[in-house]
Structure formats: structure tokens, C-alpha cells
Amino acid sequence: MERELAMEIVRVTELAALNSARWMGRGKKNEADNAATEAMRKMFDTVAMDGTVVIGEGEMDEAPMLYIGERLGTGAAPEVDIAVDPLEGTNIVASGQANAMAVVAIAPKGCLLHAPDMYMDKLAVGPRARGKVHMDQSVTENLQAVAKANEKDISDVVAVVLDRPRHAALIEEIRQAGARIKLIANGDVAAAINTAFPERGVDILFGSGGAPEGVLAACALKCLGGDIMGRLLPETDEERQRCLEMGIKDINQVLMMEDLVRGEDAIFSATGVTDGDMLHGVRFLSKTKARTQTIVMRAKTGTVRFVDALHNLDKKVGWDRL
Ligand code: VTB
Ligand code: MG
Ligand code: MG
């Protein structure tokens, strides 16, 4: 993939963020999600690439989602796999809370995990703890390993976990092990990424969330030198069948970084929709000006860029004023 694609993908997440930010706090999560989705589709279709969505929210019958199998781009080379969450945190935007972002990752065709939209159990750490944790170890062993790798006492380690009833036993085990916990309402992509930035105060992500978010986090952590693994959690026979159809032979397998994102050629972009730990949200400065912040990274070089953009809305193609 040409490195210029990184800037194209920035445009995609920027437009999605701009359009969905108009729905902040309006209590309408579907509208916020649709705005992001439509914007992404529109902008993708100007990009010279032959892309296929291999993992994302929504399946074929759930239009207008960017559905799995949907083709994006002009159809010119290169052929790429796309992982997408047009709006990571629809509830966040609807309720006007922190940490929503528009997220896309691309990699050469065949390099991203092809899986249905279902739950995935995840474990993510930053570069210092790469290769030191494993889902086959207990939570306590992983906390001890990350404490050692990050040169901390276990009581200084912070585990980040989605605040869900299904995580009650996990939370209890983390407490028993003596580590601290940051419970988040939503947004485990940003949480996983934050493990790679020591100053952001989280050492390890545990627990289940969306599988698309797992692949997106894997792309980001590959660029950042961190580590992630996951296990799909199909809940019905139909979901199990869909996994098999998508080529996942052993559903219980622990999917390692290389299974989630193969090779060294992934590009990840996320633009803040609402303010978050990692990114500023969209600011509408006047009727015609808006500011966005995006993190864009390439695995090949490991370059991490924060793109601070000032948009002229009256000249912007694809911008939908509400
Ligand atoms: C997860 C998590 C996401 O939504 O998908 C969650 O990975 C949905 O899980 O970051 P629940 O069904 O438990 O709400 C997010 O928090 C936002 O998309
Ligand atoms: Mg979403
Ligand atoms: Mg999401």
C-alpha cells in the first residue's frame, strides 16, 4: 500500500467525525451512526483503492451500515481489507459523553481477520509488555507479568475494563490480585490504544467487547508496538456457523496479533468525535469552520501522527449540515 493512502484514510475518518458530531447529546444514536457511516462511504468512494469491508458493525441485511463484504473505493489498485467502526461509541455521542471516535483501518487484501460482528474476549498491552501476557494464563498471572514488564508494583498497575455485569468475576479477580481498575462505559478501542502510552495511566485491557473493535485495536497496537489477542465469543449456532463460513476453523482459538492483522502493512486512523483521553472532539468554531484531531499511524514505519485540521465547511464536499 502506498503511504499516501494514510492521508486518504484521514479524510475518511475526519468527515465521519464532522458529520456525526452534529448529533452530540441529541439522544439519537442511530442518526449519529448513520451520519458517520454515510460520510465514510462517500469519502471512501473518492479513494483510489479496491477495498472490501471484512469486519465491521452490521451485516448485509442491516443497511445502511458499512456491511461485511461491501466494496469501497474507486476500484483501482491496491486491493485492501477494511476494518471499520464508523462511530466507535454511538451511545457516547447520543448522550454527549467522552471518547467517541470515527475509526478505520486498512491492510493489504487477506491481512485482516474476517469475522462476523460479535463479541470477542480481549487482552491488550503496550510495547513493554508485548509477548509477556497470554489469555491462557490467569488474570493474576497477567497482572503480575505486566507489573514486571512496566516496572511497577502490582498495586500501581491499572487494568481497564468495560463496565458490564458480564465482567463481575473478572473485576473481582483483578481486585483480589491487588491491581487497580479503570471502568469505562464504552470505547475499548481507545482504551486498548492507551495501554501503549504510559502517561495515559492504563497498563492492560481485559474483557469482552466487539470483535470489530478488537481488529481495529490490533491494527493500532501493531503500529505502536503493543500486543493484543482475542477469542471470539459466538453466542448462537448461527454466529458459530457464520464464523465457519468466514474461514475461522477453530472458534475457541486464541487469535494472536498475527491472526488479527497479518504482516507489517496496516494503516489506522481515528478522528475524535467527542473529547477523549486520546483525541480532542470536533469543534465547530463558527458557521463555516470546524477543527478536528486525528491519530494516523502506519505499521510499516511505526510513525504516529496527530493531524490537527481546520475545515472550511462551506467548501467541503460531503459535509451535511443538519
Ligand atoms: C463493545 C465495545 C465498544 O460497545 O463493542 C461495546 O467493544 C458494546 O458492548 O467499544 P455492549 O454490548 O456490552 O454494550 C463499545 O463500548 C462501543 O462501540
Ligand atoms: Mg459503532
Ligand atoms: Mg464500536
Element (H, E) at 6: helix 4-21
In the reported structure, the alpha carbon of residue 274 is separated from the centroid of ligand 3 by a whole-number distance in angstroms of: 14
Identify whether the C-beta of residue 217 lies closer than 8 Å to the C-beta of residue 122: yes
Q: Is the pLDDT of residue 297 over 70?
A: yes
Q: Which of 37-46, 64-73, 90-99, 199-208 is predicted with the least confidence, judged by mean pLDDT?
A: 64-73
In the reported structure, the alpha carbon of residue 151 is separated from the centroid of ligand 3 by a whole-number distance in angstroms of: 32
pTM of the predicted model, to two decimals?
0.96
Q: Whose CA is nearest to atom 9 of ligand 1?
A: 209
pLDDT at 2: 86
User: Could you tell which of 20, 186, 215 is best to mutate to test the pocket of ligand 1, judged by most ligand atoms within 8 Å of the CB?
Assistant: 186
Q: Which of 31-40, 59-68, 280-289 is predicted with the least confidence, judged by mean pLDDT?
A: 59-68
Residues 39-48 pLDDT 10s: 999 999 999 9
Q: Is the pLDDT of residue 65 over 80?
A: no
In the reported structure, the alpha carbon of residue 287 is separated from the centroid of ligand 1 by a whole-number distance in angstroms of: 33
Q: pLDDT category, 150, cuts 50, 70, 90?
A: very high
- Who's near 33: CB < 8 A, 6+ residues apart? 20, 86, 87, 90
Provide the 8-state DSSP code for 302. -
Cell numbers placing 9 = 484514510
Backbone angles phi, psi at 66, to 5 degrees: -75, 95
pLDDT at 258: 97
In the reported structure, the alpha carbon of residue 288 is separated from the centroid of ligand 2 by a whole-number distance in angstroms of: 27
Q: pLDDT category, 116, cuts 50, 70, 90?
A: confident
**Predicted ipTM?**
0.95
Q: pLDDT category, 249, cuts 50, 70, 90?
A: confident
Give the Cα separation of 5 and 112 in Å (integer).
17
Q: Whose CA is nearest to atom 17 of ligand 1?
A: 89
Cell numbers placing 48 = 483510489
Dihedral-angle region of residue 301 (phi above 0 means left; psi in -120 to 50 means alpha; beta otherwise) = alpha
Listing DSSP states for 192-259 in one string gives HHHTT-GGG---EEEEEEEHHHHHHHHHHHHHHT-EEEEEEE--SHHHHHHHHHTT---TTPPBPHHH
Q: pLDDT category, 67, cuts 50, 70, 90?
A: confident
Cell numbers placing 120 = 470477542
Which atom of ligand 1 is nearest the CA belonging to 210?
5
Q: Which among 314, 300, 279 has a CA at the least distance from the CA of 17?
A: 279
pLDDT at 1: 81
Q: Which among 155, 203, 152, 161 has a CA at the least distance from the CA of 182?
A: 161
In the reported structure, the alpha carbon of residue 302 is separated from the centroid of ligand 1 by a whole-number distance in angstroms of: 27
* Beta pairing, strands 101-108 & 267-272: antiparallel
Q: Whose CA is nearest to atom 6 of ligand 1?
A: 209
Query: Of all residues in the chain, what percent carry a pLDDT higher than 90?
Result: 88
pLDDT at 77: 92
Which ligand has an atom closest to residue 185 CA?
1
Residues 16-33 pLDDT 10s: 999 999 999 999 999 999
Q: Whose CA is nearest to atom 11 of ligand 1?
A: 209
Give the Cα separation of 315 and 321 in Å (integer).
12
Protein residues whose CB sits closer than 6 Å to any atom of ligand 1: 88-89, 162, 164, 186-189, 209-210, 213
Cell numbers placing 195 = 495501554
Give the Cα separation of 202 and 205 in Å (integer).
8
Which ligand has an atom closest to residue 210 CA?
1
Q: Whose CA is nearest to atom 10 of ligand 1?
A: 187
